[in-house]
């Protein structure tokens, strides 16, 4: 029987694919694992494979490209080669990265079905490359694993052709599984300059590649009502350095800049923080986990994780200093209890997805037919009205 091929290329994909990998192992389903090398430095890739105790990838593409289109193209070509030699039952991709999009295109061209983990998220913000990727992946995938009902309804509304399941988000499984070990193993607390702090992360292109937003962000950090601990993503560090903002931040006694930290250290940093300020998607989810339970101020104009806002965990602050500082102050003084459960699942998502993958692999479902013309006609008429 052919095996599924699991694909990852960045740190969030490794974190979110880990629960599926371990559930497949428990079910004794053999699989192949491909790493594209989109994140190639040790701190963003191999250190995660080690800490998460993932198997070493069967195929490491180690792609090197200096722009997103070249990276996507190279991953398409090289993944298609891997697919031709493995002939997998299914290609399983996660999230909204260029690696996930490229592996999806490769599978499509090689006529292998695609399963999309974390399907149906929508920010409706077309400046975000992640929004382009997730829409393209969702519309050609055969199996759509939506984390929530909202995501499922987005897929239904857009008439995506794949078979849809609501599975929760595997990131919750990971926090539940790894937090106890992280608290035991991590030594990050010994390096912290502050007892109480706001934990910050930022690296979205539409924020850090925009000089005006980047300057406003640096001023926000300097105006924070509580000291700031900030593991800086390599992309953001480069932008700070190029724009001359780095010196200012390094000399501010209320700001502790760190290199990107490993997963265990980051889990502990989240758990000990008073609040999280971020433009990350995954961190909005992690903060709702029963193992973390923190408020998040989201430095963006929109979120593809509206459940975090509805459940009271997150506030959307935009990118202006004044509003972000106001949201930080309001969140710090809010004494309303956060829910004990997460809107993104109960820690069983990896198991649910692995069982579905097992079923697909044993039953050998092929790619689905395209929707029939009558299905499309009402949508076409509506769009012309």
Residue 372: count of CB within 10 angstroms of its CB: 8
Window 239 to 278, contacts with ligand UDP (CB under 6 A) = 260-261, 263, 266
How far is 148 from 165, CA to CA, in rounded Å? 9
Return the structure tokens found at 226: 């509580």
Q: Is 294 in the site for ligand UDP (CB under 6 A)?
A: no
Among 227, 281, 306, 343, binds ligand UDP (CB under 6 A): 281
Question: Which is nearer to ligand UDP, 23 or 283 (by Cβ)?
Answer: 283
Catalytic residue among 35, 39, 116, 203: 203
Question: Which is nearer to ligand UDP, 114 or 261 (by Cβ)?
Answer: 261
CB of 51 to ligand UDP, least distance (A): 9
Q: Are strands 114-117 and 91-94 parallel, antiparallel or unpaired?
A: parallel
Residue 149: count of CB within 10 angstroms of its CB: 12
Residue closest to ligand UDP, measured at CB: 282
Return the structure tokens found at 310: 């509805």
Q: Is 4 in the site for ligand UDP (CB under 6 A)?
A: no
Do residues 263 and 270 make contact, with C-beta atoms less than 8 angstroms apart? Answer: no
Whole-angstrom CA distances from 179 to 54, 143, 271, 338 are 16, 30, 9, 19
Q: Is 11 in the site for ligand UDP (CB under 6 A)?
A: yes
Return the ∠ at Cα 350 (arms to 346 and 355), rounded to 5°.
115
Q: Is 286 in the site for ligand UDP (CB under 6 A)?
A: yes
Active site residue 116: no
Smallest CA-to-CA distance from 137 within 97, 89, 104 is with 104
Question: Which is nearer to ligand UDP, 137 or 261 (by Cβ)?
Answer: 261
Among 6, 8, 15, 102, binds ligand UDP (CB under 6 A): 15
CB of 114 to ligand UDP, least distance (A): 20
Do residues 1 and 362 make contact, with C-beta atoms less than 8 angstroms apart? Answer: yes
Q: Is 231 in the site for ligand UDP (CB under 6 A)?
A: yes
Q: Is 197 in the site for ligand UDP (CB under 6 A)?
A: no
Q: Is 280 in the site for ligand UDP (CB under 6 A)?
A: yes
Among 201, 256, 273, 288, binds ligand UDP (CB under 6 A): 201
CB of 117 to ligand UDP, least distance (A): 13
CB of 173 to ligand UDP, least distance (A): 12
Question: Which is nearer to ligand UDP, 283 or 328 (by Cβ)?
Answer: 283
Do residues 73 and 98 make contact, with C-beta atoms less than 8 angstroms apart? Answer: no
CB of 364 to ligand UDP, least distance (A): 33
Smallest CA-to-CA distance from 339 within 302, 309, 315, 305 is with 309
DSSP string of 28-50, one letter each residue: T---EEEE--SS-SGGGTHHHHH
Contact positions toward ligand UDP, by CB under 6 A? 11-12, 15, 201, 231, 260-261, 263, 266, 280-283, 286
Catalytic residue positions, numbered: 203
């Amino acid at each position: 029987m052919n095996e599924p091929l699991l694909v990852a290329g960045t740190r969030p994909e490794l974190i979110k694919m880990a629960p599926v990998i371990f559930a497949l192992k428990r079910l004794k389903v053999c699989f192949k694992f491909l790493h594209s090398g989109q994140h190639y430095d040790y701190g963003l890739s191999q250190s995660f494979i080690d800490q998460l105790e993932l198997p070493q990838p069967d195929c490491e593409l180690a792609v090197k490209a200096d722009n997103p289109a070249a990276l996507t193209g190279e991953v398409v070509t090289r993944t298609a080669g891997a697919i031709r030699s493995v002939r997998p039952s299914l290609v399983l991709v996660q999230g909204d990265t260029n690696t996930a999009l490229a592996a999806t295109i490769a599978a499509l061209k090689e006529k292998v079905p695609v399963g999309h983990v974390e399907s149906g998220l929508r920010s409706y913000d077309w400046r975000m490359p992640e929004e382009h990727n997730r829409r393209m992946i969702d519309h050609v995938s055969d199996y759509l694993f939506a984390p929530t009902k909202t995501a499922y309804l987005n897929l239904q509304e857009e008439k995506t052709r794949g078979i849809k399941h609501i599975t929760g988000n595997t990131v919750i499984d990971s926090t539940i599984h790894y937090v106890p070990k992280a608290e035991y193993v991590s030594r990050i607390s010994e390096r912290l300059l502050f007892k109480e702090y706001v934990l910050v992360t930022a690296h979205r292109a539409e924020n850090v590649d925009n000089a005006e937003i980047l300057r406003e962000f640096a001023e926000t950090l300097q105006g924070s009502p509580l000291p700031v601990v900030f593991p800086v993503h390599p992309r953001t560090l480069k932008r700070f350095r190029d724009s001359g903002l780095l010196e200012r931040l390094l000399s501010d006694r209320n700001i502790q800049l760190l290199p990107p930290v490993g997963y265990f250290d980051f889990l502990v940093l989240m758990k000990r923080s008073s609040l999280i300020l971020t433009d990350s998607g995954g961190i909005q989810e992690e903060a709702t986990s029963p193992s973390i339970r923190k408020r998040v101020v989201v430095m963006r104009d929109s979120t593809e994780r509206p459940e975090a806002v509805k459940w009271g965990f997150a506030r959307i602050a935009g990118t202006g200093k004044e509003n972000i500082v106001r949201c930080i102050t309001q969140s710090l003084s809010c004494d309303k209890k956060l829910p004990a459960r997460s809107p993104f699942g109960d820690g069983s998502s990896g198991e649910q997805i692995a069982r579905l993958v097992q079923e697909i692999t044993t039953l050998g479902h092929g790619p689905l037919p395209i929707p029939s013309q009558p299905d499309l006609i009402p949508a076409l008429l509506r769009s012309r009205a």
